[in-house]
Amino acid sequence: MGGLRAGGYGAFAKSDLDEDEVLLRVPRSCCVTLDDALSDVECGAGFRKLMEEAGPGADTVVIAGYLAKEYLLLKEYDRRLEAGDDDDDDDDAVVVGTRPRPRGNVKFAPYLRTLPWERGVNAQEHVLFWEDGDVEALLGGSLAYADAVETRATVKIATGILDGIIGPVVRRARGEGGNEGGEEGGGGGFRFPWQRSREEEERAAAGGGETILDGLEEAVRGAFVICLTRAFVAPSPVDGGREEDRLEPVLDMFQHSNVPNIRHRFVDDGSIVVTAGPNVRSGDELFNRYQGEEDGDSMPYHKFFTRFGFVPGVTEPVANLIADRSTIFFPQRAVV
């Protein structure tokens, strides 16, 4: 990583940089991709079923589910370690089904530990972290309202679905039993919410069904925030160049600017290469440019906010912009 230093919430040049100097190269094997989720030993079968039922639109749900499951398993290993179960090498292995998974076996463990799973970690803000009342009070009537409500509803539905896939795996790891639904070859005992009978649906809605796995809501919410604020769209080298969402460790430490001073490009083997723009001096913060898939370069700022959790160039709390009825959030009205 020539000329690059992490610090604060972003990355900085540690020396003057030549234009086009290569700062880093991230191989696809270091990225979190849909392949990781679909080939997962414990939940891959459940994720594949979900893709069959729901189609490619389920990509983000599947990647978020995979991240949430790995994070919850990592937390379980950590809990055991803290409880002093680490004297013997095997003691802190979490047994999922019949397979022990030693601590080191969470593929992305060091990366998962750096991510903003909760509001405020790495100064992360996002409408997914808000209470319903805050969304109504702050965003009601604003341009951001519909997006915020839709994103939150998607995550709520996803949480119910993912409980059926990753819930049993995490419950087993915690020694709480759980059916075989999420496990590869386990018979597929779980059912998606759309496969439940009306009676089961009503019982679940009335709180009489199985309860959602403890900690799952928070983990899925965090995983969605992570996907929305950090995923890159890249051509997949394994799927005829189809575009895929990926999490790119290290590349995702750069903050956004509308006038970036680095560039990134995808190369044929699936790696991503980051190079310096012109006139970068030692100590300068290095900025990338985030792009929303549907709006390309011109994503409106209220959409930028619901997707990435901030408004470019604005340092004051968004609540102040809303209180001042900023034109970013409220359509302008002519004063006559």
Ligand X SMILES: C[S@@+](CC[C@H](N)C(=O)[O-])C[C@H]1O[C@@H](n2cnc3c(N)ncnc32)[C@H](O)[C@@H]1O
Q: Is 124 in the site for ligand X (CB under 6 A)?
A: yes
CA distance 212 to 71: 16
- Binding to ligand X by residue 122, rule CB under 6 A? yes
Binding segment (CB under 6 A) for ligand X, from list 14-22, 116-124, 168-176, 181-189: 116-124
One residue of 252, 262, 270, 301 binding ligand X per CB under 6 A? 252
Interacting residue with ligand X among 253, 286, 299, 328 (CB under 6 A): 253
**Which member of 129, 263, 312, 330 binds ligand X (CB under 6 A)?**
312
C-alpha 336/C-alpha 325 separation (Å) is 18
Do residues 329 and 144 touch, judged by C-beta distance below 8 A? yes
**65, 164, 167, 309: which one binds ligand X (CB under 6 A):** 309
- Other Cβ atoms less than 10 A from the Cβ of 44: the count is 20
Q: In angstroms, what CA-CA distances link 129 with 47, 75, 117, 233, 329?
A: 25, 20, 10, 24, 19
Q: Which of these segments, 50-58, 150-158, 250-258, 271-279, binds ligand X (CB under 6 A)? A: 250-258
Beta bridge pairs of residue 230: none
CA distance 323 to 319: 6
Q: Candidates 81-89, 97-105, 129-137, 306-314: pick the segment binding ligand X (CB under 6 A).
A: 306-314
- State yes or no: residue 308 binds ligand X (CB under 6 A): yes
CB of 291 to ligand X, least distance (A): 12
Instruction: Write down the residue that tokens 């979190």 correspond to.
Output: 32
Contacts with ligand X in 140-199 (CB under 6 A)? none
- Inter-residue contact 329 to 302 (CB < 8 Å): yes
Give the nearest distance from C-beta 255 to ligand X in angstroms.
3
Taking alpha carbons only, the member of 81, 76, 42 closest to residue 185 is: 42
Least separation in angstroms between residue 98's CB and ligand X is 38
> Counting contacts by CB under 6 A, is residue 310 touching ligand X?
yes
Residues contacting ligand X: total by CB under 6 A? 16
The CA distance from 26 to 254, in Å, is: 14
- Site residues, ligand X (CB under 6 A): 9-10, 116, 122, 124, 229-230, 252-253, 255-257, 308-310, 312
